[in-house]
Structure 1
């Protein structure tokens, strides 16, 4: 494996370590004393988190944030860091006036005030401000610090990734489907506002509880793309070698390393991968397999290999299938049987390699999920008399 391929392979695996300390530990183990390899990987990570940069741009390390818990920014008191990306840091904060409430405050990092980064930061704020949906995090305020660094304030979502939430509540297949259909409608709302998410994954779909009911919230439009034009005067992606999305969930067209060929059906594909995992307990091609593969091989798998049928995926998991089934309130044999035919048709259509054959919209995907729940004919079903007779007789 040459240096570039090694860097790409390590970069891809590093993306799976979302916590900063875990990622640093992984990089130290993977790169060892090879400083040049470490620099290459960090450059790729920086480019990934900043879609306006080229993959071969260089940035040795991120500048640390100057703010600490207890510091005040306008009417907000910072409490703790809850997220961090290439251009900004997200804090849990408390608003003191004119009302008291807990919020999330995203602040641009020191030294990250180039025109392109500021444009992206403003684009994310603007993308969120366009939306008014109960299942998308709301923008509440925006401003600048005394030193002129921009920030915006969002609804604070205190929840679990949708996959973890469903497992923790031992949600049945039908309960998971109902929750998933709500997520589809939230993504549909973003599309009607002219915004593609481009990074749909469990960590960006958090589930909280309101009055005892599960409420999914779609977050992190940091790599969003505007439809029919940019959200700012600058585009939100690079036309050359920019990886947009998380490899485990990205569409075949996203593996081309360009935002040019990505449209709303890319989100439909990622929703299909999310649904696959919610049902089968594992992503289509296996997390371990993709983590161990070189970068180019991961792209080839996503572009060329067909995902195994849901029931086959469950059956292939061995002892793990027992726990996955328990998390769904059932047994391995019953789970595999329930995932045949109609549910597999839905997932297969959403994840079709050819986007013209996918559901046209997230709403259409949600409609088929709801048809399944109502025992109605599916759009994804075969146009045969046998299928019709099976449904109605």
Structure 2
């Protein structure tokens, strides 16, 4: 059918243009009058029926034919955790119900639950569907109906739950309020912002139309059905099914031709929507599939009245700029349209501000006219003569031409971004092709395919290849493949330096990404040295302040703090935040992210009070930007909770992490990285409050999510196994602790983190658990665990070194080696580390030293160790383990006849 459509498209366009505005009865009458051959008749009927289905969904589906609808009262699949209610409507590929989502504690949440009209039994298709859902789950925007959950019914029917929006369709809302064109254009910009955010997340809507835009009573725009057409690509029916998903009046020519629809298809649909929203009529389509622009002659008085204008005024307002904007958005070839949704929105914004629009490469008279219109009040008040202005314009237009060149460069950047996005989208769309039956593409295969194709397709386009390589390197880092990430990011940075020089923002951004991966890989010194040099070269070459500089400073500060360079680290963070405040006046997402990083670095250098203050401010900014129940707010709450926990403010920490978890239960899908991250922190806080069983439940929940998200070895999976190991230590379950720390160690080695002290830390705890079970392998594992700590320049590793040495001392005592145990304990106690971070380590060290000294018959020195332990006044982060060690110390005091000392030591058991 795609071939037939392509061949007959020129004939279909004028027929659709004539028939689509007609009522069903008028269409039928007109069709009977047309002399069409059988093929053309069939194609036209297909397109008109698809349009009817789309219109039915917009109107609540009152006019949809009964044989096209899923029965409402019977044969509906059961969805666990949801109770289906009122039938809301249906389209060609889904039926929509109002449903109640059952939440923990008996609460419920109203959602729109969509039952898709296909069964997915093939494992490969199910994986693809789940991957599409994971992409949608990451799409969080105030103007997009939020994705909540998805799954499969018992009969294989895919379903998804999204935010239920109470509102009216875009055109109905605007017409009911007789909203004038400029107010409508501002609503259109909100729609563009939402679509652009989705494109940035590599998601294309492909069925944009006014019926898919709802406006709440308070005027907030919500884009709905985002990604449905994309998700339905798991259905491999014919092009006939694809056509049923389209709404012909808003579909781009390439969609009718059966070609892959990229971001340009959304630009096309937005152009149609803009025309209809402002004028009341859809643009006239030419035979090549493009539009001639707005036909202002078709605007009637009823259209103007709905916009609180008369017909002549409306036609005059839209003639020229809006006409040109629409025509450019509706070019037949995607490459000739606006390069991005942002570029389209920029022209609409320019029209609102009486500035020249890029769609009209206007004459000098046009530019002057726009200037006059924009500044008419100032010109009148200042008494500036028009003739003087025209004389001055000879100079100002030269400046304008330079600005036009800069704008053209910006459009070229947007075009490159669009090419990159469409390129990556095409890779994901073809991800299952060319594979043996029953096997889906792994993430690693997809990344490797992206890398090969990027190098082949953009070999001579470094302006596109550099950001693509950085994106692939970032993906590799996310997969935990740090060595591969470093290799690709190094290639990106060196290519950018050769192509553009060190004083280019692309080069600095690539270096910042490289520095961050070195940070994650434990290569702190190398990462800091290279990034610092890159930043100096950028500035020496005249590079200006921008977001790339802010990013580089933030990354450099993170590296410096790991090298015990507290002052340089704080200078970097201070400068980054100050730069952000200059770049973004008032609250801004980039500045908020910088504040969160700043607070974390302050915590790392031990300035916990300042960190808490900064992160409290960061939370306030996040709430002002996003409201009180947004995922960014959940992240800010989690960061603050971690610092509060470090300050032993466990109650407020628990309250904040509980609020973060509640936000995610409402806003995030069940399987989401942030949900797992917060569950992990929730578990750590519970562990430190002595709620070990609750902590285990949180860690198990986090591990389940991480395993689903990352089937292959991943650092966060390893960290969660280690947390389960710490819970087992609290419960004195040496066998479970050995199992969990052993798994954490195995995963960490598999993902190759050679410079990461977590490997040494996990090995140390594993060795301690083995020693508890009298496993002779423990000694060798302690010997392997200790050297990396002393080779590290990382100040935060001090308490890890101390704990490893202290646990090694206990194991050495078990073997009867008192002298070696004493030496290990004394080394642990000599390390300069924060008291709050080292209570457990020092407690174990004092116990080991006291026991070793007793064995060596050095009674007075043993008593001195007991008295020194009493100086540990900070609360321990492992209360049950600590209690066991205090009990041993009190027993030693009793054995030595030190009754008062024993009494004082026992007081710690109660605290």
Q: TM-score, normalised by structure 2?
A: 0.33
Give the CA deviation at 1:118: 4.9
What is the distance in 2 between the residues matched to 1:147 and 1:183?
36
State whether structure 2 residue 371 is matched by structure 1 residue 392: yes
What is the distance in 1 between the residues matched to 2:91 and 2:125?
12
Residue aligning to 1:281? 280
- Out of 190, 197, 202, which is 1:194 matched to? 202
Does the CA-based 8 Å contact 1:76-1:93 persist in structure 2? yes
State whether structure 2 residue 348 is matched by structure 1 residue 369: yes
Does the CA-based 8 Å contact 1:77-1:95 persist in structure 2? yes
Residue aligning to 1:37? none
- Out of 11, 22, 31, which is 2:63 matched to? 22
Structure 1 window deviating more from structure 2 (129-138 vs 8-17): it is: 8-17
Residue aligning to 1:379? 358
State whether structure 2 residue 45 is matched by structure 1 residue 10: yes
Give the CA deviation at 1:238: 6.4
Change (3 A) 1:251 1:65: same
Give the CA deviation at 1:132: 0.7
Residue aligning to 1:255? 256
Give the CA deviation at 1:144: 4.1
Residue aligning to 2:213? 205
What is the distance in 2 between the residues matched to 1:133 and 1:75?
25
What is the distance in 2 between the residues matched to 1:364 and 1:305?
19
- Out of 312, 319, 332, which is 2:311 matched to? 332
What is the distance in 1 between the residues matched to 2:321 and 2:70?
50
Change (3 A) 1:236 1:335: farther
SS of 1:378's partner is coil
Does the CA-based 8 Å contact 2:175-2:306 persist in structure 1? yes
Change (3 A) 1:364 1:153: same
Give the CA deviation at 1:184: 0.8
What is the distance in 2 between the residues matched to 1:239 and 1:24?
21
Change (3 A) 1:337 1:132: same
Change (3 A) 1:125 1:21: same
Does the CA-based 8 Å contact 1:252-1:302 persist in structure 2? no
Instruction: Give CA deviations for 1:286-308 in whole Å, capped at 9, x if unaligned.
Output: 8xxxxxxxxxxxxxx46256435
What is the distance in 1 between the residues matched to 2:93 and 2:247?
17
Give the CA deviation at 1:259: 2.9
Instruction: Give CA deviations for 1:106-136 in whole Å, capped at 9, x if unaligned.
Output: 2345x72343875675465344313111111
What is the distance in 1 between the residues matched to 2:127 and 2:240?
18
Instruction: Give CA deviations for 1:36-82 in whole Å, capped at 9, x if unaligned.
Output: xxxxxx9xxxxxxxxxxxxxxxxxx776467579x973332211122
Structure 1 window deviating more from structure 2 (84-93 vs 337-346): it is: 84-93
Taking the TM superposition and a 5 Å limit, the aligned residue runs for 1:292-303 are 301=286, 303=288
Give the CA deviation at 1:383: 4.0
State whether structure 2 residue 342 is matched by structure 1 residue 307: no
- Out of 326, 345, 348, which is 1:347 matched to? 326
Give the CA deviation at 1:353: 2.4
Looking at secondary structure, tell me which structure has more helix per residue.
2
State whether structure 2 residue 119 is matched by structure 1 residue 112: yes
SS of 1:165's partner is helix
What is the distance in 2 between the residues matched to 1:364 and 1:374?
15
Residue aligning to 1:50? none
Change (3 A) 1:87 1:65: farther
- Out of 217, 221, 230, which is 1:215 matched to? 221
Give the CA deviation at 1:94: 1.7
What is the distance in 2 between the residues matched to 1:362 and 1:187?
7
What is the distance in 2 between the residues matched to 1:97 and 1:304?
49
Give the CA deviation at 1:86: 5.0
Number of equivalences: 327
- Out of 182, 189, 203, which is 1:174 matched to? 182
Give the CA deviation at 1:274: 0.5
State whether structure 2 residue 90 is matched by structure 1 residue 84: yes
Provide structure 1 residue ranges, at least 5 long, that are not aligned to the other structure. Answer: 26-41, 43-60, 226-230, 287-300, 315-320
Larger radius of gyration: 2
Does the CA-based 8 Å contact 2:170-2:213 persist in structure 1? yes
Change (3 A) 1:68 1:93: farther
Does the CA-based 8 Å contact 1:342-1:381 persist in structure 2? yes
State whether structure 2 residue 259 is matched by structure 1 residue 224: no
Taking the TM superposition and a 5 Å limit, the aligned residue runs for 1:57-206 are 64=71, 73-98=79-104, 99-109=107-117, 112-115=119-122, 118=126, 122=130, 125-145=133-153, 149-206=157-214
Looking at secondary structure, tell me which structure has more strand per residue.
1
Give the CA deviation at 1:224: 2.3
What is the distance in 1 between the residues matched to 2:70 and 2:190?
38
Change (3 A) 1:95 1:218: closer
What is the distance in 1 between the residues matched to 2:180 and 2:69?
43
Change (3 A) 1:384 1:275: same
Provide structure 2 residue ranges, at least 5 long, that are not aligned to the other structure. Answer: 1-35, 373-911
State whether structure 2 residue 268 is matched by structure 1 residue 269: yes
SS of 2:145's partner is coil
Instruction: Give CA deviations for 1:314-333 in whole Å, capped at 9, x if unaligned.
Output: 2xxxxxx1111111011001
Give the CA deviation at 1:103: 0.6
Does the CA-based 8 Å contact 2:275-2:294 persist in structure 1? no
What is the distance in 2 between the residues matched to 1:387 and 1:182?
28
Does the CA-based 8 Å contact 1:223-1:236 persist in structure 2? no
Does the CA-based 8 Å contact 1:280-1:310 persist in structure 2? no
